[in-house]
Amino acid sequence: MIEQALMNLRLINELGVLIPVALLAVILVAVSKSGFGGALGSLGLPVMVLVFPPKLAIAILLPLYLITDFFVAFTWRKFPVLKILKLMVLGGLIGQILGWLCFEYLDDNYILTLIGLLALITSVRYFKNIFFKNNFGYKTKIILKLSYIRAIGWCGFSGFSSFVALTGGIPAQIFLLPLGLERQLFVGTMSFYFLIINLAKLPFFFNLEVFSHTSVLLSIIVLPILPIGIYLGKFLNKKLSDKLFYHISHSALFLCGINLVFKQVL
């Protein structure tokens, strides 16, 4: 009896740390997906792995990502740019298949470090262009001509990194942010992209036996925080100008990059 009581006490103490961290990660994801097209969502897994094993963290977050994606896609259902979305989904699905084939053989640390470095390069380049007043319009036209190749390449990387580390938002943003879409179009396109590729993960994750009774229970415990995050993200999106939206999105991208790189180095 005493031993069982001590075990229960330790479990309560652990949950006292685990649950707040899980709630923080989930609300970051919900706010990000509903208001910023995933700009902060890549912080979800790095926050979770502070206290959870990586595979358990992925198993907890994926059902919550999916629920959020359904709500967000419905909210922004009038805004996705279908021409861009089709290319993104094609690249993302190719990346998902590669991620499934390599999942059990990969070291997450190298993937996360590379993604973090790419995030830093993209965000620094954006702010450099602002400070040095480069011709953004001219650059955008060049990028749009190359968007077919860029979409398959970056979104293939996005699908791959999303599968192995739930960090697919950063490569997708590297592709989509330079196109300069209005913020509603940006969020709408990203929301449908992630809804589709996250749904596509499910059969592969079941095949790899990623989910467990523990992961499902923890997902259910933190589920009630999702509506708050979704509402807050949509509210913030409506209050921001396009200029401020892109400043915040690139700042979040920079923070994601710093977080991922330093986490692997330290």
pLDDT tens track for 212-231: 888 888 889 888 888 888 88
Domain ranges of the chain: 2-265
For the segment 250-262, the average pLDDT, to the nearest whole number, is: 78
Question: How far is the C-alpha of 177 from the C-alpha of 34, rounded, in Å?
Answer: 16
19: Cβ contacts below 8 Å, ≥ 6 apart: 221, 222
For the segment 98-127, the average pLDDT, to the nearest whole number, is: 77
Percent of the chain topping pLDDT 70: 79
The reported pTM is 0.72
Question: How far is the C-alpha of 65 from the C-alpha of 199, rounded, in Å?
Answer: 10
pLDDT tens track for 58-75: 888 888 888 888 888 888
Question: How far is the C-alpha of 45 from the C-alpha of 26, rounded, in Å?
Answer: 9
Asked if the model's pLDDT at residue 162 lies above 90, the reply is no
